[in-house]
Amino acid sequence: MAPRGRNGAAAMAVAVASVVVAWLAGGGGGVVAAAAVGGGGCASSDRLEALPGQPAVAFAQYAGYVAVNEASGRALFYWLTEAAGDASMKPLVLWLNGGPGCSSIAYGASEEIGPFRIKTNGTGLYLNKYSWNREANLLFLESPAGVGFSYSNTTSDLKTSGDERTAQDALKFLVSWMSRFPQYRHRDFYIAGESYAGHYVPQLARKIVEFNKASPNPFINLKGILVGNGVTDNYYDNIGTVTYWWTHAMISDATYKAIMSSCNFTSANVSRLCNRAMSYAMNHEFGDIDQYSIYTPSCAAAAANVNATATATAGGRHRRRRRGKAVLRFKDTFIRRRSFGYDPCTETYAEKYYNRPDVQEAMHANTTGIPYRWTACSDVLIKTWRDSEFSMLPTYRLLMKAGLRVWVFSGDTDSVVPVTATRFALSHLGLKTKIRWYPWYSARQVGGWSEVYEGLTFASVRGAGHEVPLFQPRRAFRMFQSFLAGEPLPKS
């Protein structure tokens, strides 16, 4: 179905990921090699004094590259913003955005949970009042190679990316990065992300669990994962998504029935009838809406209101038209909070800012002269993604069995990976309920609804789109505080 494939077409084929124990067979040579390659340099050389146009801050920042494959020349770019206070006492949180092929710096760091926001037209930065670095040290990773400033010297790598290699390279990154930053070894560590990071986050967590089991002295102290509006299970996600469209009056009864009767959501192959029904819904019934936030203005409408250009649509907003078909991707919405409302055309701000030579120099980025501009999302990776696991539910079971804290949340105005899809998928875990469905509160208002199960907590965030911390920053921050504390969301 349309929003579930690499180009928003059919769900991708099932891929069975190899376990890290096998990868480490023969004495752990893979990790040793990664540490030897990526461990070069020291933290002090990665220290970032200040970004151009950045307001003064007291916390430390670091940015740079960690090599993850010497033979191919793959290196991943990171940006660490330490906690605003008592950094040495606070946990480390790795944030991953999805796509596949979208930048955690463009979205997570610059629109959602990071300490800075980008001013109009990329002229500078301003502070995010609800940055998650108030509670944790934040590590943003552009992954896999080919995303943002991350690169490979082997061009074919950009056309052969997939779930398995992404998780494996991310583990190699962490092992090497913690050699460069030994103060974070054994520190409480969490992985968070959204959208297609619904694959990245649990897959990396699984790699770490297996790595720790195979290591005589494990040092990655993984405590839990936090996944928002995440791609979870192709079959259940698809049914839940079409149901959301119908229950939110986005499609007609006739189209709903046509999709449900003609689409086989267990197969990666899309029938002619299914494709016709999906195309009709997206091209004729949705209208010009932002599918990542169905109640806020689309880019063209907002552009007229804020005197902005519509160039973001050419840069690949929420829906593109290619050969007469609508194309969705699991990226993060381009809508960003402004003092006078939402501006859904802000992808160009990030692309202008991070393509500035002075910004790249300050961030220690693009040191090898990447032969293409920095972009928020890589269309090459999105179109050529190789392997994608059909379901994350078995991995969730494994992580819960390992004793990890598992939280899943959903903004309730996203129609791409909607709350109905996530709830439908999670319901098939068959978990025992500990705390029944209840409204949770933030600033004396209902922040959303939650249910706590044995081993997993689910929460919706009221009035939030695909990028929950963007649309509801205060509610998202309150949720993050409860997650770190391991406490249910407040009932009053």
The pLDDT of residue 348 is 73
Using CA atoms, how far apart are residues 108 and 122, in angstroms rounded to an integer? 17
pLDDT at position 487 over 70: yes
pLDDT at position 116 over 60: yes
pLDDT interval class at 309 (50, 70, 90): very low
CATH number for the segment(s) 1-492: 3.40.50.1820
Helix (H, G, I), strand (E, B) or coil at 322: strand
pLDDT at position 403 over 50: yes
Q: Which DSSP state fits 145?
A: T
Averaged pLDDT, 144-162: 96
Using CA atoms, how far apart are residues 143 and 175, in angstroms rounded to an integer? 15
Q: What is the mean pLDDT of the chain?
A: 84
pLDDT at position 392 over 80: yes
pLDDT at position 121 over 90: no
User: What DSSP letter does each residue of 413-468 carry, written as one string?
Assistant: T-SSS-HHHHHHHHHTT-PPEEEEEEEEEETTEEEEEEEEETTEEEEEETT--SSH
The pLDDT of residue 18 is 28
Strand pairing class (188-194; 61-69): unpaired
Domain ranges of the chain: 1-492
pLDDT at position 2 over 80: no
Does the model's pTM come out above 0.95? no
pLDDT digits (tens, 9 = 90+) for 227-270: 999 999 999 999 999 999 999 999 999 999 999 999 999 887 88
Q: Which residue has the higher pLDDT, 119 or 394?
A: 394
pLDDT digits (tens, 9 = 90+) for 37-95: 344 457 889 999 999 999 999 999 999 999 999 999 999 999 999 999 999 999 999 99
pLDDT interval class at 20 (50, 70, 90): very low
pLDDT digits (tens, 9 = 90+) for 440-466: 999 999 999 999 999 999 999 999 999
In this structure, what token pair is assigned to residue 454?
């044995």
Using CA atoms, how far apart are residues 228 and 424, in angstroms rounded to an integer? 15
Q: What's the angle, vertex CA 204, arms to CA 172 and CA 315, rounded to 5?
A: 90
The pLDDT of residue 270 is 85
Using CA atoms, how far apart are residues 139 and 199, in angstroms rounded to an integer? 18
The pLDDT of residue 225 is 98
- State the residue for tokens 């970004």: 51
Q: Which backbone phi and psi does 113 adopt, to 5 degrees?
A: -110, -10
pLDDT interval class at 473 (50, 70, 90): very high
The pLDDT of residue 122 is 87
Catalytic residues: 195, 414, 466
